Structures are given as structure tokens and as C-alpha cells.
Amino acid sequence: MSAGKKHARSEGEEQSARSAKKLKTTAVIENGPTESEPRSVEAEKKKKKDKKDKKDKEKKEKKEKKEKKDKKERKEKKENKQLEDEVAGDRKASTTADTEIAAVEPQPQSDKKEKKKKSKSKPEPESSDRSTPNSTGQDGLPNERAADQAPAVNGAAQRNGASYSYRQTAALDAVPEEEIQEFLKKQEIVVADPCGTKLRPVTQFSHLPSSTLLSKKPFASFTAPTPIQAASWPFSLSGRDVIGIAETGSGKTMAFALPCVESLASSPKPKHSKKDKTAFARAVVVSPTRELAMQTHAALSSLASLVGLSAVCLYGGASKDDQRALLRRNAGADIIVATPGRLKDFLAEGCVSLSDVMFAVLDEADRMLDKGFEDDIKLILGSCPPRERRQTLMFTATWPTSVRGLAEGFMVDPVKVTIGSRTRAGGDENGEANGTVELQANSRIEQKVEVVDPRGKEQRLAELLREAQKGSAKNDRILVFCLYKKEAVRVEQFLQKRGIRVASIHGDLRQDQRTRSLEAFKAGTTTVLVATDVAARGLDIPEVKLVINVTFPLTIEDYVHRIGRTGRAGKAGKAITLFTEHDKAHSGSLINVLRAANQPVPDELLKFGTTVKKKTHDTYGAFFKDVDMSKKGTKITFD
Ligand SMILES: Nc1ncnc2c1ncn2[C@@H]1O[C@H](COP(=O)(O)OP(=O)(O)OP(=O)(O)O)[C@@H](O)[C@H]1O
């Protein structure tokens, strides 16, 4: 007999017993006292009976009340359990194509409602643990949240399951409001939050809430957070989706690396069968080029290793077996930094799964969302848990309107943090530029444009290099950009013939040749690097003194990224662009970028016109998409 049945029967038995008692009582009342019984005895009997009836009734009511309460508690417990299971385990189930479609569809109203409902009913993480110094967190690491920290800003658990909860520190609380306002104004920080949360920028590293990671002093070589770090960290550490737009070389890598590692360090690793050969990453960072992926991997890896987390880099043009072995060695790797093509291959093979991903980053986000990569990104983010159950961050120096809608389809109420004067130069108070100057080059880069005859470009390049490397500057690093691979080969040979120490990096080279060229340039054994746009974005090469554009890039965004290889981390830099009549479609947008950065606009350039044309090249994006040369039958694109 089941417990339920047993319970039902005993309830039934009780009821019939109660009914029998009631019948007996009723009979007595109906019959009334007999003639022979004295009146007082009769009254006494009735009184007793009434008292008993009352007691029975009270008892019954009390029992019913208790049953109701128990039932309610059981229901609540069940709901909470379901919710916890969903947050902890359901990620596994939510992979594949339909998620992928959902990720790019506008967020349905019910989704939002559901999210709100969940965050209300979600049990709060054990806040006492977090605020008690030296208590132990879920991961078993000592939890070092300081006792003087204010209550968590985000209150409930982060939606991606991390127990890390951002708390504005007492030290930051104590900063006078005028100082905060002054900082925001001086650094030209604009925060647009659809949820209207006001969080102060973290102006000092000491204003960050303490953690195991920070106790290892990862920022010892820096004096203060850069503006994008200061303004975005409070939101990203709170578990919010963030779009960060800041000039080249302004520390965007650390802006996403810190919340990524904090988030993973504070959440338990989902368990998988030892027999399972699949690598289940918990964070994924997607980069447009192999070299950038490697660089980002190095930065993330050094931060992650401080708290015992591992990171693996997956990119094309290198041995898959070696990368598979790395994945196995790192027990799946907590963080995967990858180029889209290789990641897609590993996903298709089943040796990588993104179903545990709680933190996803698109570095150089506008590039990743452009036509060349759009489908790959849909597939990759579609293989992660839905946007409501992961945290998604996007960072870039350029944010063209064409990708904004798509970006928001992958995110939930993203906070947009913009650094720079684009709001002054024709934008509204939300940081949304209204057309003219939304694109901003690093203001510490001196930009020079020379309008030249196309036939004299290479000769002029040789002169410029000679001038730039005169005397004590003979070892200065100079980056020379070409548009086409064949052009890069020709320019490299031209310079070699003139005795210039030069290397090159472009898509027609094998990956080991590309890596060698970059290493030689970084080490200073070659002082000139001829590159296509494969080197335009993200590469952080120390001490590049000058960037020369031999041929203008396909888009004005690429121009901003190319020249951004100099003037990094607060340093000054110089860029010279050889502009010919073939590039005249770009004159308007180039003039705007020059003016916004208070740079001289030559009359010869003005002659080509100031009208900003729509993006002139439809295949923008396909040009410097890395192609795995080891694959057979692949159509090789030119960059
Ligand atoms: N708080 C900081 N203070 C000083 N330097 C920093 C700080 N944070 C990062 N850096 C350094 O600044 C340099 C540029 O950083 P990073 O490569 O992240 O720039 P970025 O904004 O991503 O540039 P890009 O737009 O070109 O990709 C790096 O060498 C990095 O170590």
C-alpha cells in the first residue's frame, strides 16, 4: 500500500469516526432529557456536550489549517527546487539550432516576464557567506568579500549561475559625488542602461570588491583602471550584459577578462562523466583573427591561472590533434578563446561543447557581427545556453549602426558603455551618435594624410621609412598596411630590395610563417612589418611608432583599427595615409574622423568631397577572414 493511500484511508477512518460521534451527539440533543432526569443534570449534560462540540470543531479547524500550510510549503519547496535545477543543470539541454534561432529573434515579451519572475523567486545566494571574511565559497576557495562592503547591487544570484555578486565597496561609497561626476566628464564616459541602474565607476583598483583573484594582485603593473574598465566592471561584475565601446589600445581585453574569471571562479564546475571525451568550456571568447585569439588567450590565461582555471586557444592553420590534446590535458578547459572557423569544426566533431557556457565574449564585436562572420556567430552563440542563462559581453572600438540590432538580439538588456567625445560631436545624451561623428580614432595618434599619385605610392613609402628611421630612430617599429595579399608580397619584396629589414603577415602565408613574422617584429629583429588587415584589429605590439597606410582599407572602421596599432595604453603614436583618387569614396568619412580628432585636413583631400557614402564594399568582412590553408577544397579568399 502506498503512503498516499494509507494516508487517504486513515483520513477517511477519522472522518467516519467523527461522523459517528456527531450522530450520537445529535441523537441525544434531539431526544432531549427524559422526564425522570432532574433539570439541572440535563443542563449540565448539554453544557458538557456543547463544550466538547466546540473543542472538536476547533481541533478540526486547526488540523485543516496545518494541512493547508504544509501543502503550501511543499509547493514552494518544489518550485524552488525546479528553479535551482533549471539554473544549474538545464544549460546542458539548451544547445542546438532552435536556441540559435531564438538568440537572434527579438526577445519575446513572455521571455522578459519569465526572466523577471525567475529573478524574483530565485533563492538569494548565501549572502552571509559572501560578506563574511574568510568564509568558504561554493568553489571551496576562501571567500574574501570584505565585511565593509555594501549589500550586493544585483541582489539575487547572477543569472548565469555565478555566485559572485558585485558590491560597491565602502571605499568607493566614500568618494564624494562631485569627484565621480568629474571623472565621468573628464573621461567622457556615457553609460546607457535600459534598466536605469546607477553604478559608480571603479576609479581605483582598491575600489574593487576584494576577491581571491584580486588578492593575487593581477594589476600590480598598472596604476589605475582605464575608463572602459572603470565604467564597465561594476555592470559586468554584476552579471549584466555589456557593450563596451572605447578607443583602440584602451584596455578592453582586461575589461572583459576580469569579470570572466571572477564569474567562473565563483561558480561550481558542472560534473560530467569521466568517460565523456567532450570538452565542456564555461566561457568562450571569439576573436576574428588567429593572432588576436592567441594574444587574448595569453592575457586571459595568466589571469585565470591565478585562481586555478585553465584556458585553451583554438585557431585555424595549426594542428587539430595538438589542440585536441590541449583540451584533454586541461580537463576540458574552463575558458576557450577561439577563431570562429576552428571552433565550428570542433563543435561539429563533438569534441567541444558550449552547453555549459555561462560567459560569452565577442571581441572586436562589430567585426564578428558583420556579414563575413554573422553565420558563424549565430551558430556559436546558438550552441551556448540561451542569452537569459549566460552573460554576453561585446567590446570594440567601432560600432557601426549596421550591427547594433543584431548585437542586441544576442543579449538581454545590455548596458552600453561608451568612452570618447562622440557624444559631444553630434550625439545625444545616450551616447548614440546622430550621424556625423560616431567613429572615433584614438586622440593621441597624430594623423597625416598625403594625397598622392597611385603610381608613386611605393616610392613615397620608401622615402617615409627612411625619414622615420633616421639616426636614433633606426630601430623604431613601423607597420605598413596594404589591402591585398599580392600587394603585400610586392611591397615586401620592394622594401627588401632596398635593404630594409622587413617581414610580412597576410593570409597567403602559412600560420608558422605568420607567427614567425610577428615574433620577429615584436622582438625588433625586423623593424618593418608589411601587413594586410589581418593585423588591423586588436594586436597589441609594444612600441609601434608609426603606421603607414599604403592602400586605404575597405571601410573607415578598418582605418581606425589599423592606425590604432600605435598610440596604445596612453602612449602617443603617428599614422600616415597615402590617399589616391581610387580611394575618393572614403574622403567624407576620413575627413570626419580627422576633424573629430582635431587633426589637419589637407585641401587635396577636401577636393574629393565631404559626403559620407554608404559602406562601399559589400564583401567587407570576407577580406581578412582567416582561411584554414590545411583544408582541402576550400575556396581561398583574398585579403
Ligand atoms: N589599467 C591599465 N593601465 C595601463 N595599461 C593597461 C591597463 N589595462 C590594460 N593595459 C594595457 O594596455 C594595452 C592595450 O590593451 P588592450 O590590448 O586590451 O586594448 P584594446 O582596447 O583591446 O585595443 P584594441 O581596440 O586595439 O583591441 C595592453 O598592453 C594592456 O596590457
Per residue in 427-452, pLDDT (tens digit) is 344 444 433 336 889 989 999 999 99
CATH architecture of 445-606: 3-Layer(aba) Sandwich (3.40)
User: Which atom in ligand 1 lies closest to the alpha carbon of residue 565?
Assistant: 26
- pLDDT, tens digit, 9 for 90 and up, residues 584-631: 999 999 999 999 999 999 999 999 988 887 654 444 444 444 444 444
pLDDT confidence of residue 119: 38
For the cut 80, the answer to whether the pLDDT of residue 11 exceeds it is no
Q: How far is CA 603 from CA 153, 430, 445, 548, 583, in A?
A: 53, 34, 21, 20, 15
Domain boundaries, the chain: 125-434, 445-606
Cell of 269: 564546475
Contacts of 345 (CB under 8 A, 6+ apart): 320
Side-chain half-sphere of 287: how many Cα atoms within 13 Å?
26
Would the CB of 250 count as within 6 Å of ligand 1? yes
Write the burial class of residue 1 (CB in 10 Å: 0-12 exposed, 13-18 middle, 19+ buried).
exposed
Check if 125-434 and 445-606 are the same fold: yes
Is residue 331 over pLDDT 70? no
Under 8 Å CB-to-CB from 610, ≥6 apart: which residues?
587, 588, 591
Atom of ligand 1 nearest to the CA of 569: 12
Q: Mean pLDDT across the stretch 262-268?
A: 93
Phi and psi at residue 335, in whole multiples of 5°?
-125, 135
- Output DSSP code: residue 479: E
Local structure of 42: helix, strand or coil: helix
Angle (CA) 616-622-627 rounded to 5° is: 160
pLDDT score for 66: 78
Residue 76 to residues 122, 127, 247, Cα–Cα distance (Å): 11, 21, 49
SS3 275: coil
Phi-psi region of 562 (alpha: psi -120 to 50; beta: other; left: phi over 0): alpha
Q: Could you tell me the three cell numbers for 247?
A: 578607443
Beta pairing partners, 529: 479, 503
Query: Does residue 218 line the site of ligand 1, with CB under 6 A?
Result: no
What is the reported pTM? 0.73
| Per-chain mean pLDDT for the chain | 79
Residue of minimum CA distance from atom 9 in ligand 1: 251
Q: What is the pLDDT of residue 4?
A: 41
> Which helix (H) or strand (E) element contains residue 503?
strand 502-505
pLDDT at 162 (0 to 100): 67
- Give mean pLDDT, residues 28-48: 53
- As separate numbers, helices (DSSP H) first and strands (DSSP E) second, the chain gives 22, 18
The one-character DSSP state at 629 is T
Side chain identity, residue 405:
G
Lowest mean pLDDT among 142-146, 378-382, 478-482: 142-146
Nearest atom of ligand 1 to the alpha carbon of 219: 1
CATH for 125-434, among 3.30.590.20, 2.60.40.10, 3.90.700.10, 3.40.50.300? 3.40.50.300
Angle at 154 between CA 149 and CA 160, to 5 degrees: 120
Query: Does ligand 1 lie within 6 Å of residue 538's CB atom?
Result: yes
Beta pairing partners, 190: 418
CB 517 within 8 A of CB 526: yes
How many CB atoms within 10 Å of residue 638? 16
Please, which pLDDT band fits residue 537 given cuts at 50, 70 and 90?
Answer: very high
What percent of the chain is modeled with pLDDT above 70?
A: 72
Q: 538 C-alpha vs ligand 1 centroid, how far in Å?
A: 9
Look at 558 and 139; give whichever has higher pLDDT.
558
pLDDT above 90: percentage of residues in the chain: 62
User: Which residue among 303, 445, 568 is best mutated to probe the pocket of ligand 1, counting the most ligand atoms within 8 A of its Cβ?
Assistant: 568
pLDDT, one tens digit per residue, over 115-171 is: 443 333 333 222 222 222 222 222 222 233 333 344 444 433 466 666 667 989 999
Q: Measured from the CB, is residue 225 less than 6 Å from ligand 1?
A: yes
